[in-house]
Amino acid sequence: MGYTVSKAFGSKVFSDSVMRERLPRATYESLKKTRDEGLPLDPEVAQVVAGVMKDWAVEQGATHYTHWFQPMTNITAGKHDSFVSPSGDGRAILEFSGKALAMGEPDASSFPSGGLRATFEARGYTAWDATSPAFVRGTSLYIPTAFCSFTGETLDRKTPLLRSMDVLSTQALRVLRCLGNETARRVTATIGAEQEYFLIDRALYEKRLDLKICGRTLFGARPPKGQELDDHYCGRIRLRVADFMQELDERLWELGVPSKTKHNEVAPAQHELAPMFTSANIACDHNQLIMELMRVVAKQKGLACLLHEKPFAGVNGSGKHNNWSLSTDDGQNLLDPGKNPAQNRQFLLFLCAVIRAVDEYADLLRMTAASAGNDHRLGGHEAPPAVISIFLGESLTSILEHIAYGSTPERHSRGYIMEDIAALPTIHRDDCDRNRTSPFAFTGNKFEYRMVGSSASIASATYVLNTAVADVLSGIADRLSAAQNREAEIDRIIGEIYKQHGRVVFNGNNYSEAWANEAARRGLPVKNRTVEAVEALVAPKNIALFKRHGIFTEAECRARYEILLEQYVKTVSIEEATMTEMVRRQILPAALRYTGALAGEYTHMREAGVESATAKALLAACAALTDAVQQKTDALEASSQSVQALTELPAQAAAYRDEIIPQMQAIREDVDRLETMTEDSAWPMPSYTDLLHRV
Ligand code: ADP
Ligand code: MG
């Protein structure tokens, strides 16, 4: 029998339907309440679920189980225990207790903690997250969990995300009640995270130390053809890539990841995968699986998947588009404008809550996109600049302006497209064009946050947005419940928010120079690089926000700040060490050999009575560049030693940004020039053309 998607989809997931079928009715109902309404988990329920889950997992071929968690690295972790227990008579029985399902005790000492955890308190705890389904991968049952330290501080990205989901639901429900909704019991933040990535040939990848160690090229002269012709975007998918995508889809579908759309992206060798949206927490787990499986499947297919934000200089980098919205369990998308947005007060109120949240916490949102990798991409005329603004489109903007300032809203007749061709279906013109340059764009019935880097977890961006919006909704609910005339109060709130926070709305071209100046004039925070951007985590107003909603303590905020700075420092220092090694062990030897060969040819020619100006000039240029590279690398190593000796983390991070990165850039420029002068076969690593055009 051939492959059937409907059968395969979710076949490795301990899904709702599996649970309904296999769990005793009361257990199922109780678990469902925990999952859908955030109620506490009953230990007896865990005991029953564990037994059923184990039997199901063993049927799927599992011999082990793992608490799967998301420490402050950008990847997931887990340690695998077998179900096997000795039975006493020399045989083995398979066991899995409710306690083992509900809680684990991994050693936390080797995960980033930002100084929260003393080494003698090595233990950490993992706790079952019943809101995201368990699944079988290979021979292990994966149980999604939250991860905290022995003393209860959060050490992961899931815990704050789960907290923010609850906080957001509570506050959104308060507002909905004020608007007369008595039926909704849960409001869920939904996410559809589009994932960009590069695929290159594995054998070529293996020849590049920089790609293997750093995930990006540290050298590489511009290829004769990059993305100039715009002929890659949504172009024909090459057979090898199509084969990869098909296998990836099938593996994801088994795990219940609703991979939906695949296409070629702008840069050569760049592609994108978009899943269907789902609850933010599950979407976050799914995105981790997508990234992991992309790497694994690529390797199987003789390819390498690059998830770095900027693997190649001069061609577009990769990001992650976080589509975010709010849906109620009574079936509404709270950001759906409906047929008549001007009259849809509920929509306008939630829209304004987002506008205010994004303006007040723009710095925090920017922080969620900060990483050494993304510094190479943001603001590069391919990705949004490092300034947060919101695209609303003309028609919504004029509705809000009307409410705030009483100006007459412009009539935007939607009209039709291609009416003149009878054979084509009639297409309604969209209310707003998709402004692709905006970091935070309203796209019809959701917002799309586009700054997050391709290798990052989407959790931070999501819990920041959830918490900030919950905070604003809480203020709105307070006002509405105290108001005599709620209708009038709603309009007042909308008007006030637009007056105070309309500055964050920008419908123009975010890539233009004029916008950078305009943003500064409007007083919007401009944080160009990671070192500045992560300071948002320790700004008093942001610490207060997280404390107010029980997301983080002050110590946890400071720890996260440290972790991000530390990651920045480590990333740049590894890149520096990789560059030095490549220069000393690959580039200089090759350059010397090639220059030597040139010298030999030049001498031969002279002996034969020929004076070649070309040979002479080339020889001199190669020798000079080789010397320059050698000297600059010596200088880089010296600077690196003094930067490593700095003891204050913020100062050290700033020194990497201001001293090390510019020196590395200068070395790269010389090496890239040397590459363009060197005979193809004499260059010690595959070129950009090889990497980008040989899949
Ligand atoms: P594009 O952004 O290219 O115009 P789509 O509008 O089809 O594409 O959606 C892109 C992504 O947005 C998909 O991953 C989709 O699942 C997600 N998405 C759509 N609706 C919502 C929603 N209500 N909440 C969160 N994500 C959504
Ligand atoms: Mg999109």
140-149 and 135-137 beta bridge pairing: antiparallel
Average pLDDT over residues 490-497: 97
| Six-digit token string for 305 | 């998947």
- Domain boundary residue among 507, 526, 552? 552
Residue with CA closest to ligand 1 atom 1: 443
Tell me how far apart the alpha carbons of residues 311 and 288 are, in angstroms, rounded to a whole number: 20
Q: Ligand 1 centre and the CA of 435: distance in Å?
A: 15
C-beta 192 within 6 A of ligand 1? yes
- Same domain, residue pair 197 and 332: yes
Q: How far does residue 412's CA lie from ligand 1's centre (Å)?
A: 24
Condensed to tens digits (0 to 9), the pLDDT of residues 105-136 reads 887 777 788 877 665 567 788 999 999 999 99
pLDDT at 230: 66
Distance of alpha carbon 146 from alpha carbon 148, whole angstroms: 7
Mutate to test the pocket of ligand 1, among 252, 257, 277 (most ligand atoms within 8 A of CB): 277
Indicate whether residue 333 lines ligand 1 (CB < 6 A): yes
pLDDT at residue 182 above 70?
A: yes
Ligand 1 centre to CA of 263 (Å) is 15
What spacing in Å lies between the alpha carbon of 433 and ligand 1's midpoint? 15
Q: CA dihedral in degrees (64, 70, 72, 73; nearest 10)?
A: 70
Q: How confident is the model at residue 70, as a pLDDT?
A: 92
Q: Taking the chain, what is the end-to-end CA distance rounded to the nearest angstrom?
A: 32
Ligand nearest, relative to CA of residue 324: 1
CA–centroid distance, 358 to ligand 2, in Å, is 19
pLDDT value at residue 409: 56
Structure tokens at 681: 């076969």
Q: Is the CB of 191 under 6 A from ligand 1?
A: yes
User: What is the phi-psi region of residue 250: left when phi exceeds 0, alpha when psi lies from -120 to 50, beta otherwise?
Assistant: alpha
Instruction: Mark whether 619 and 470 lie in a shared domain.
Output: no
- Here the CATH number for the domain that contains residue 65 is 3.10.20.70
Q: What is the mean pLDDT of residues 469-490?
A: 97
* Containing structural domain, residue 461: 164-216+231-552
Tens-place pLDDT, residues 552-589: 999 999 999 999 999 999 999 999 999 999 999 999 99
pLDDT value of residue 124: 85
**Quick one: pLDDT at residue 267?**
80
234 Cβ closer than 6 Å to some ligand 1 atom:
no
State whether 340 and 358 are in the same domain. Answer: yes
Determine how β-strand 140-149 pairs with β-strand 270-275.
unpaired
Q: Could you report the per-residue pLDDT of 15-52, keeping only the tens digit for each?
A: 999 999 999 999 999 999 888 877 788 889 999 999 99
Q: Whose CA is nearest to atom 19 of ligand 1?
A: 277
Tell whether 276 and 292 lie within a shared domain.
yes
Q: Are residues 631 and 661 in the same domain?
A: yes
Three-state DSSP at 181 gives: coil
To 10 degrees, what angle do helices 540-548 and 554-582 make? Answer: 120
Residue 415 above 70 pLDDT?
A: no
**660 & 575 share domain:** yes
CB distance 266 to 692 below 8 Å: no
Which of 512, 527, 552 terminates a domain? The answer is: 552
Cβ 447 under 6 angstroms from ligand 1: no
Type of residue at 641: Q
Q: Both 592 and 526 in a single domain? A: no
CA dihedral (450, 455, 460, 463) in degrees, to 10, reads: 60
Number of domains in the chain: 3
Question: Quick check: 492 pLDDT over 70?
Answer: yes
Can you tell me which atom of ligand 1 is nearest the CA of 327?
23
**Ligand 1 contact via 320 beta carbon (within 6 Å):** no
Q: How many residues does the chain have?
A: 695
- Whether 222 maps to a domain, the answer reads no
Handedness of CA 27, 29, 34, 36 (dihedral sign): positive
The torsion defined by the Cα of 629, 634, 636 and 637, in degrees rounded to 10, comes to: 140
pLDDT digits (tens, 9 = 90+) for 616-658: 999 999 999 999 999 999 999 999 999 999 999 999 999 999 9
Asked if 440 contacts 364 with a C-beta cutoff of 8 angstroms, the reply is no
Tell whether 557 is covered by a domain. no
Query: 607: Cβ–Cβ under 8 A, 6 or more apart, which residues?
Result: none
Q: Which atom of ligand 1 is nearest to the CA of 277?
A: 16
The ligand placed nearest to the CA atom of residue 191 is 1
Question: What is the residue-averaged pLDDT of the chain?
Answer: 91
Q: Other C-beta atoms within 10 Å of 265: how many?
A: 21
Asked if 373 contacts 74 with a C-beta cutoff of 8 angstroms, the reply is: no
Are 348 and 374 within one domain? Answer: yes
332 CB within 6 A, ligand 1: no
Is 502 found in the same domain as 589? Answer: no
**Closest protein CA for atom 11 of ligand 1:** 192
Ligand nearest to the CA of 273: 1
Element at 416 (helix H, strand E): strand 416-417
Lowest-pLDDT range, 72-81, 230-239, 497-506, 678-687? 230-239
What would the two tokens of residue 201 be? 């040939």
> Ligand 1: which atom is nearest the Cα of residue 445?
23
Of the residues 168, 286, 323, 445, which should be mutated to test ligand 1's pocket, given the most ligand atoms within 8 Å of the CB?
323
Residues 566/539, Cβ–Cβ less than 8 Å: no
From 133, 156, 179, the end of a domain falls on 156
- Residue 273 Cβ contacting ligand 1 at under 6 Å: no
Joined tokens for residue 566: 């530390």
Res. 514 pLDDT band, cuts 50 70 90 = confident
Q: Which ligand lies nearest the alpha carbon of 447?
A: 1
| Range among 115-119, 151-155, 199-203 rated most confident | 199-203
The atom number, within ligand 1, closest to the CA of 191 reads 25
Collect all residues with Cβ–Cβ distance below 8 Å to 55 and sequence separation of at least 6: 22
Ligand 1 binding pocket includes 323 (Cβ within 6 Å): yes
Backbone angles phi, psi at 223, to 5 degrees: -75, 155
Listed in sequence order, the residues at least 6 apart from 636 whose beta carbon sits closer than 8 Å to its beta carbon are 576, 579, 580, 660, 663, 664, 667
The reported pTM is: 0.94
One domain, residues 604 and 486: no
Output the six-digit token pair for 384. Answer: 């949004």
